[in-house]
Structure 1
Amino acid sequence: MRWDVLETHLDEAAFLFTQWDRALESSTRGLHGLEKVEQRLQAHLDALAATGPRGAARLLRPALGRDEPEYVRAACVALLRAGAQAHVDAVLKTFSEGEPASRMEAWRALQLEWRDDAQKQLPRTREADRLEANGMTASEVSLPRGLMRGERLAWRTCQQQADGRDAVGRLARLMLAVGGDDKDLARLTELLQVPELRADVLWALGFSGRPAAAEACVPWMREASLAGLAAEAFCSIVGLKLEGALVGQRVDRDEALVPLEEDLARDLRPKEEDALVLPNPDAVEAWWAKARKDFEPAGRYLAGQSFGPLDLCEALMTLPMRRRPPLALELSIRSQGRCAVEVRAWAHVQREQLRAIQRLDTRLLVQPFAASMRL
């Protein structure tokens, strides 16, 4: 064996997994862009999976103990793909006994390679570990399940937790945006007055599709720290493309003076929000003053078009990766779990799921969630 070549495959797979993870959160790349990264990643993973017992013993299984999470995931996927029971056992042991970061990577590998089988075959006593490794808590999982089952209690919980500062609150606000009535939307826009919730509320409003939500985003395009997020939400509803005179000036991080203590404590790592196009508030407001009349107040819109029952599926085919998870969750809720798209699965798996959904006569509802509650 050419061990230098195999080590290069592992290095490249680890690197491309970081690129693949970034693509999953991209504000510009859609499913096609994810596939471009994934094709290269899959080639390296297949090469590692074909190394046989010697390659697994010398290269892959030792990589399960590395401190770099991306190497752990690459090794886990290659071992699972190779298929030998000893390899599978090594991955399961990493998931059960490894450090928290390694457990998370092992679980991601199991999700990617086993998918539904991972949920069925792992012991039920490991439920807490599985949730933790997936970055979730039990309460975050229970709300969507309750809504899928048509439980009024789940919907009331969303309404009651809308001002929560935790992950449940964030999920509740999103649910009010996509499934609430006029009163729920009004409650959501009122929460824009709470500084620590403002960014999260703007994010949720962008999925409501309601002209009133677009209207609520307009003033916040003048707030430097929120301008990109507010514009993204606004444009996702009305379909405006920020280009030419509609694009604003970007203020460099170094030009904004802040107290030294705050500057030292700030996370300087780039976030996906940093890549959002900034608006020219005056130009956007002028455009909206003319375009507002073309939007029916009671309607729901996606990229400026009236939002119909099956448009969720089309949106999942074309929208940037960053905006797909909330819509996939809405699709699952409105179809009572019959239409599921795993937005963090391999791209080819997602395309298969979307093609299957397009063949179904789902007749999905677009009415508020409360109208379909049965229990």
Structure 2
Amino acid sequence: MAPPRLMMDVYEEHLSEAGFLWERWERGLASPAVDLTVTAAREERLLAHLDALTVGGSEVAGALLIPTLDSKAPTEVAAAAFALLASGEEGARKVLERLEAGKGPALAGIQRALELDDSLAPAALLPLLGSPRVDVQTLVLGALVFRRAVSPTVVEKFLSHGDPRLQSAALLGLEGRLDETHRKGLQAALDSPHTGVRHAALTAGLIAGLRGAWERCRKWAGESSAVGAQARVLLALGGGEQDITGLVKLLENAVLRPSTLWALGFSGHVSAAEACLAWMDKDRGTAALAAEAFSAITGLRLEAPYVAPARVAAEEPIPLEEEDLDADLVPTPEDALATPAPAAVAAWWKEARTRFDPGTRYLRGLPFSAQALLEALRQEPMRRRGVLALELAIRSRGQLRLEARAFTRRQASELARAFASLASLSPRRFDGLMTQG
């Protein structure tokens, strides 16, 4: 029997709030203004609404949660799917049934729920890897990789798959220490014609300590593709002064400038900081990105007097005939960055510059070390933590992982394990970490 209408209104409100909070939580994971503490507080509110949805049992599941799996809003689907997975075996069965038949937003929402859920055993997902639908196979393999719950046998099965989506997912499931079969598969993937496969192979290759991956990193750093952007970040993380000089030169290319400024913020080099300072004045369009990178290296807090006054919205509305009706009005993470006051920043740097050694890598103004890396993973804005988590994986040869898009309770456990293994992290440049041919 369905719950009374008044009671159902309460559950509908819980689902609506869960969908809203889920979307807000996801946006926060890419925010330059949100840290781990704020994220955990938002997550607590989200989980409270999700927990409330499980109280209604099969009646609420049938009347509200299962129909929501067909919604066009991925976060509503994710919230409903997560609550169903947490409700028990029957709810999980309904989610997996809808997964096999779903498409579009439904698939995206269900995948996110499967990634974050820890109640459904990974073994329950394995039969779906035999689905005739590649999108379903890719979703399931991606969820298993996210949970670090995929076996080497499963990875090997898809490592040379003909579909690049499955191959990319399998590459990200590789562990840091490879057997000969996996190493050969990874090396072949570095030569793939598919951008997504090369992107995944570059990441997996550096975690595995593959010299060929580091060589490709240097080779691809000038590309305008997603692989090029990833190569620039990796080169900034682990390169030497010559590599950083090469990245600084790429700032002259307007197409590459935004992603290069982003990368340079992780380099920690004085030369990169000075290049970012110069571009705060040269290009207003990327001044905020340049300031973010400068701050990440030097530790300067971007607040008055080092930021420009906030812009006030125009009093007169834009005439309808002049308005771009096709414009994407959803704010981007970059929209939250502070616009610098270049002259004030330059004056600060003139005084602070003497405290910085050109041969030292810095993180927020402190010399880089394994301890500093882990402290940054605890304190940095969410937007930057994914790159720092990748550096942790590379420096530990894949033995220490932190999933920066997981719930914070999992992240706390992973971070505690990393602190306990601090002595195993090498602060060397990446060319010194690549030991496999």
Report the TM-score when normalising by structure 1.
0.92
Aligned to 1:283: 344
Measure, in 2, the Cα distance between the counterparts of 1:368 and 1:116: 40
How far did 1:298 drift? Answer: 1.1
- Indicate the SS of the match to 2:370: coil
Q: Distance in 2 between matches of 1:174 and 1:326?
A: 8
Distance 1:320 1:181 in 2: 25
For 1:350 and 1:115, the matched residues in 2 are separated by 17
Structure 2 counterparts to residues 329-340 of structure 1, below 5 A: 329-340=390-401
Q: How does 1:1-375 map to 2 (within 5 A)?
A: 1=3, 2-84=7-89, 86-114=90-118, 118=122, 121-122=125-126, 123-124=128-129, 127-130=137-140, 137-222=196-281, 223-251=283-311, 266-375=327-436
Query: Please, which moves more after superposition, 88-97 or 25-34?
Result: 88-97
CA–CA distance in structure 2, aligned partners of residues 65 and 254 of structure 1: 41
* Structure 2: runs of 5+ lacking an equivalent: 131-135, 147-164, 169-195
Considering Cα pairs closer than 8 Å and 6+ residues apart, tell me whether 1 or 2 has the greater RCO.
Answer: 1
* Partner deviation per Cα, 1:52-102 (whole Å, 9 max, x = no partner): 111111111111011121110000100111121x32232223333312222
Letter in 1 for 2:225: D
Query: In structure 2, what residue type is equivalent to 1:281?
Result: P
Q: State the secondary structure of the residue aligned to 1:37.
A: helix
Cα contact 2:288–2:340 (8 A) shared by 1: yes
Pairwise CA distance, 1:128: 3.4
* Secondary structure at the counterpart of residue 336 of structure 1: coil
Give 3-state SS (helix, strand or coil) of 2:255's partner: helix
**In structure 2, what is the Cα distance between the partners aligned to 1:156 and 1:261?**
49
Give, as a single letter, the amino acid of the residue that structure 2 aligns with 1:165: S
- 1:264–1:194 CA distance, 2 compared to 1 (3 A): farther
Instruction: Please report how far the alpha carbon of residue 251 of structure 1 lies from its aligned counterpart in structure 2 after TM superposition.
Output: 4.4
After superposition, the C-alpha distances for 1:102-152 in whole angstroms (9 at most, x for unaligned) are 211111101101499559943445553457889974333222211111111
TM-score of the superposition, structure 2-length normalised? Answer: 0.79
- Cα separation, 2, equivalents of 1:263 and 1:238: 39
In 2, distance between residues paired with 1:211 and 1:119? 49
Structure 1 residues 268 and 373, CA, compared in 2 at 3 Å: closer, same or farther? Answer: same
Question: Relative to 1, partners in 2 of residues 1:261 and 1:328: Cα closer, same or farther, differing over 3 Å?
Answer: farther
Amino acid at match of 1:197: L
Superposed displacement of residue 271, structure 1: 1.6
What is the deviation of 1:363?
3.2
Tell me, in whole angstroms, the C-alpha distance in 1 between the residues paired with 2:284 and 2:85. Answer: 47
Could you tell me which residue of structure 1 aligns to residue 154 of structure 2? none
> For the structure 1 residues 310 and 120, does the alpha-carbon distance in structure 2 shift closer, same or farther, using more than 3 Å as the test?
farther
Q: Is the Cα contact below 8 Å between 1:110 and 1:118 reproduced in 2? A: no
Equivalent residue of 2:62, what SS?
A: helix
In structure 1, give the amino acid aligned to 2:387. P
Q: Does the 8 Å CA contact 1:131/1:138 hold for their aligned counterparts?
A: no
Given the superposition, is the C-alpha separation of residues 264 and 34 from structure 1 closer, same or farther in structure 2, using an over 3 Å criterion?
same
CA apart distance, 1:50:
2.2
Is the Cα–Cα contact under 8 Å of residues 371 and 422 in structure 2 kept in the other structure? no
- The 8 Å contact of residues 277 and 346 in structure 2, kept in 1 or not, is answered as yes
Counterpart Cα distance in 2 of 1:359 and 1:196: 42
Distance verdict in 2 for CA 1:49–1:129, change over 3 Å:
same
Count of aligned pairs between the two proteins: 371
d(CA) in 2 for partners of 1:284, 1:237: 13
Q: Decide whether aligned partners of structure 1 residues 76 and 116 sit closer, same or farther in structure 2, where only a CA change above 3 A counts.
A: closer
Alpha-carbon separation, structure 2, partners of 1:150 and 1:116: 33
Does the CA contact (< 8 Å) of 1:237 and 1:303 recur in 2?
A: yes
Residue identity matched to 1:232:
E
% same residue: 41
The Cα shift of 1:10 comes to: 0.6
**Amino acid of the residue matched to residue 128 of structure 1?**
T
In the alignment, structure 1 segments of 5+ residues that lack a partner are: none
Do the aligned partners of 2:85 and 2:119 also contact (CA within 8 Å) in 1? no
Aligned CA distance change for structure 1 residues 254 and 191 (closer, same or farther; 3 Å) = farther
Q: Aligned letter for 2:400?
A: C
**Aligned-CA RMSD value:** 2.5
Letter in 2 for 1:113: D
Give the superposition deviation at 1:3. Answer: 0.7
**Is the CA contact 2:111–2:139 (under 8 Å) kept in the aligned structure 1?**
no
Query: What whole-Å deviation, never above 9, does each CA across 1:233-278 have from its counterpart, x for those lacking one?
Result: 00111011123322213445769x9xx9995664332222112111
